[in-house]
Every structure is written in C-alpha cells, then in structure tokens.
Amino acid sequence: MEIKDELKLFDIDFINHLTQEAGNQIDYWDIRATISNGTSIDFTDQKSTEISSYEITNCGIRTFANGGVGFYVLNDLNKDLIRTSFLKSIKLAKLTESLSKHKFKIKEVDPINKNFKIKSKRKLVDVDIEEKILLVKNHEKLASNYSKKVKNTHTIYMDGVKSYVFINSFGSNIYQDLSYLRLLNIVYSQKGGVIQRSINSVGGLGGFEILSTEKAENLSVKTAQESIELLEAKSPVGGKFTIIADPKLAGTLIHEAFGHACEADLILSKESILEGKIGQKVAFDDINVVDNPSMGQGSKFGLPYELFGCYFVDDEGIPSQKTVLIENGVFKNYLHNLETSSRMNIPPNGHGRASTSSSKPQVRMGFTYIEPKDWNVDEMIQDTKNGILCEDFLYGYTNPTTGNFQFKCKFSYKIKNGEKQELMRDVALSGMILEVLKKISAIGDENTFGFSSGICGKGGQSVRVSDGGPYIRIDNITVGGLN
C-alpha cells in the first residue's frame, strides 16, 4: 500500500528516537496523524448554497505517566515539531501525575504492524465534482417535484478520504486508507398552516458506489413522501402505552438507553447507573445485546460497502471485535478503551475512539444491536391490544447517572385490537434504563432485523455509529404528547 509522502516521516529511526526520549519517564505513549481531504455539497431548493473542498492535517501526541495524561495537538507535520511537542506532552503528563490521586499504568497489549484499506469500487478521488453535484441535483429534483405540498428541500453530500498513521510505545505501527461518504436529505412540506419535515440519510465506508444502492437512489423520494404523510398525522395523547419499536428505533433505544451506560469511563467516574451490575439480571430473559464494529458486515445486509459505525482498529490500535453486553438478560461486559481496561485489569475490547487525531480517544460504541429471536412482526402487532407502533426516530438522549432517557419517534401508528391504525407524529417516549429492558415482552425474528447509522456526540466529539435490532415490543412506556 502506498503511504502518503507527508506521513512517511514516522519511520523506524524516528520512532526509535522517540522511544529513547521517553525513556522511563512515562509508561505509554501514542501518536496519531491524519491527512484528510474531502468535499461537501449543499443544495437548497435545487440551488447550490455551498460547494466546498478541504485538505486538513491533524496530529495528536498522547502520553501516560502513572495516571497522568498529557496530550499535545498540532497542525503541521515535521520531525522537529513532533519531537518538541512529544517532550512537551511528556512534561504535561508528569505534571498532571504529580497532582493525580488515581495511579495506574497502561497494560501492555500485543503490537499490531499492519496496513488497512477501505475497498471501494469507485474511488472518491476518481469521481469529479460535476458528477457528485449532478447526483445531488437529481435528489433535489426528485424531492421538489414529488408533490405541490413540498415547500423546501435540502440535500447535503459529504465525502472524505483519510490517510491515517498510528504508532505507540508497544510497537504498533498502523497505516490506514479510509474513505467515507454520507448523503442527507431533508424535505419540508406544508398544507394549510401545518409544516412537517422528514430527514433521511445514507452513509457508509467505501466509495461512490454507496449511492448506487436502491435505498440510496430512493432517498429523497422517501423523504418527500414521509414529510407529506406527516402532514395528516395526529398529535399523540400522553399516557402509558405498550409500544412496538421498529429496528431503527430499537437500535437507538439500545444505544441511548443502555449502550452509553456500559461505557467504562462513565463507570469509573461513577456517572453510570450500571456500575457494579455485571453478572446481574438487567433485562428480559430472552434478550441478547452486543456491540460488534468489525468490518465485513455490510454484505449481510446486501450492501456493497461497510457499515458507517464499523472500523478495522479503534483509535488506540485495538482491533474491532464482538463484545457481548447482555446475554439472556444478564449484564456481561463494559465497553473499554486502553485506560479503562488497564484499570479494571481486563483485556481492552476496541472501543477507544476519537473524532479526529486532534481529539483524545474516549470510550465509544461502534455497531450496537439486539440479536433477533422468534416473533413474526405481524403476529406481534396482532397480539397487541392497545398500543403504538413506533417507526424510526428523530433523536434520543439519556442521563446515564439517573437512568432517565427520552426519544422522539418519526412515525407512530396507533394499534387497536391487534390492528395498525392512524398515523401520529412527534410521539415522545420516556423511561428508566433499568426498568425498560425488563418490560420487553417480544423480540422479532431475523427477517425483521435492520439497522441505521448516524453521528453520536459525547464530550464535544462526534463519531460514526450504527445500531439496530429486530422489531421489539415494550410494555407500559410513558408517552408524552401535546394533548
């Protein structure tokens, strides 16, 4: 694999030199450097509002000294600057250590010396800007012409390629060529005084082929159709209901309402309600939840690219792997980065992720999902007397300390005597982490399994994530509404 010229400076001699400089002063260091190039195209009402291109260099040097962490961020790559910044980072770590109460050492893991490359059928750099614009224009046109009720369309195309070097004091030296793309479509429709909007996106790791799947091609038509359907939707009545969540909502629910509380940094800082709960029953007997961001899963969904939330190695050089969070209702594992696994004395599981090389890795999810079981979705609805079928979500969040969470659903259908009825909008769901998973009463089969992808924020950083599951039914959920 061809290494980008500017990143070649991390050669053996230079790494050896840094190792010598560090000596016994610190117990671990790593350096990440990336060169990113990308395009973004922004259209509103079939007109370009922004067409842009960038090239950005980032570098972050992190050092650990017995519980003190130093991090030095720079924009330029040259040996002298990196060397002096490395020394400054060591100084920061040692100063921090002198004031830190919690002493620990990063436990050594086997080094990885490997290159990784995202495969793409049509490399992003080989597609010229005119073709990318044409695609966006086409989506805008399809959405605008969908109906007279469509008042406003907005399409954002973003792509990026990244050359990424990771080296650390364990002897890892990893070079990656990454490539991602995301297309986001928003449509506003209006009827009388009512305005409704819908948002959909397609994203993945790969090349321009990401946009040639059927789902991607139908993106803007689907969005337009949804925003128009929502015009006729009714506002919900608040109260307690049985809900059936579709794979997108079930995925977000498991991500927000459970996944975040599994992040071991929040466990150590006593901010998670799941502290000390490993081995305990936290959910319905039949449920299994995992986080598996390893590559090669796109094909399972018939996609010619990798899922947006997946990766080869995390941003601390640990290979992505399957981690069981809940097995038969029992809580099994936390998600770890190098620090939390070292402190809890177990092997890391590849969840140290950073949004860029100039941000520090935090404990983050990758692809979190509920495993399918045996319910047929039609039977699940028929078996529900009074309830709400909730499809897709607008957003969700949770407070891991109190365990209280909240979601907004995109589409919600009333279920009466086992029949799907009228559409409702802006249905808000709320509950408590430790209660909700025990209220699950049915889990759908493999045929109902699906996922969605997006961006998740934590501590000011955004990373790519995916989550999913089958249809699931949850009893006795609090639903908020305007009436």
Partner 1 sequence: MDNTTDIFELANYGIKIAEKKAPNFKCAEIFFGKNEYTNIELEENSIKYSEIGSDHGVSIRIYNRRGSLGFAFTNKFNKKIIEKIIKIAIKMMNAGTADPNFQNLPLKYKTYPNVKKLYDTSIETLTIEESIEYVKDLIKICKNDNLAISQSGDFTSSSNISYVFNSNDIEVFEKETVFSISSNIIVKNKSTGETSNGFESQIKRKLKDINGTNTAIEALKNAKRNLNRIKIKSKKMPVILSPKGTINLILNPIASAINAELFQYKRSFLVDKREKVIGSEYLTLEDNALIDGAVGSSNFDGEGVPCMNKKIINKGFFLKSGLLHNSYTAGKEGVESTGNGSRRSFSSVPSIGISNFVMQTGTSSIEEMIKDVKEGIFLNTTGDSANIATGDFSGLISQGNLIKDGEIKQALNETMFGINLLDLFKNIDAVSKDSRFYGPFKAPYVRIKDVQIIGAKS
Q: Please give the Cα distance from 281 to 463 (Å, whole number).
A: 30
The interface region with partner 1, picked from 25-33, 175-183, 242-250, 261-269 by CB under 8 A, is 261-269
The interface region with partner 1, picked from 236-244, 284-292, 381-389, 413-421 by CB under 8 A, is 236-244
Burial of 75 (0-12, 13-18, 19+ CB in 10 A): exposed
Residue 53 C-beta: closest distance to partner 1, Å: 5
Residue 346 C-beta: closest distance to partner 1, Å: 19
CB nearer partner 1, residue 137 or residue 373: 137
Q: Are 159 and 173 in contact (CB under 8 A)?
A: no
Q: What count of residues does the chain have? A: 483
CB nearer partner 1, residue 268 or residue 295: 268
Residues 10-49 close enough to bind partner 1 by CB under 8 A = 43-49
Element (H, E) at 197: strand 194-205
Q: Where are the alpha helices (DSSP H) in 203-303?
A: 214-217, 219-231, 247-254, 264-268
CA-nearest of 358, 352, 355, 311 to 57 is: 358
Burial of 175 (0-12, 13-18, 19+ CB in 10 A): buried
Q: Please give the Cα distance from 327 to 4 (Å, whole number).
A: 44
How many residues sit close enough to partner 1 to count as binding (CB under 8 A)? 77
For 483, the token pair is 């009436």
Residues 70-99 close enough to bind partner 1 by CB under 8 A = 70-76, 88, 92-93, 95-96, 99
Tell which one of 1, 20, 80, 102 touches partner 1 (CB under 8 A). 102
Place of tokens 């029992």: 330
Tell which one of 212, 321, 376, 404 touches partner 1 (CB under 8 A). 404
Residues 406-435 close enough to bind partner 1 by CB under 8 A = 406, 408, 426, 428, 430-432
Q: Are 393 and 248 in contact (CB under 8 A)?
A: yes
First to last CA, the chain: 60
Q: Which residues of 137-159 are buried (b: 16+ CB within 10 A; e: fewer)?
A: bebbebbbebbebbbbbbbbbbb
The interface region with partner 1, picked from 127-135, 176-184, 289-297, 317-325 by CB under 8 A, is 127-135
Residue 200 C-beta: closest distance to partner 1, Å: 17
Residue 459 C-beta: closest distance to partner 1, Å: 9
The binding track of 351-390 with respect to partner 1, each residue x by CB under 8 A or -, is: -------x-x------------------------------
Residues 300-339 close enough to bind partner 1 by CB under 8 A = none
Does position 133 bind partner 1 by CB under 8 A? yes
Does position 143 bind partner 1 by CB under 8 A? no
Distance of CA 151 to the CA centre of its chain: 31
CB nearer partner 1, residue 197 or residue 373: 197
Residues 195-234 close enough to bind partner 1 by CB under 8 A = 195-197
CA atoms within 13 A on the CB side of 135: 23
Residue 355 C-beta: closest distance to partner 1, Å: 13
Residue 461 main-chain phi, psi, to 5 deg: -115, 150
Tell which one of 144, 145, 297, 399 touches partner 1 (CB under 8 A). 399
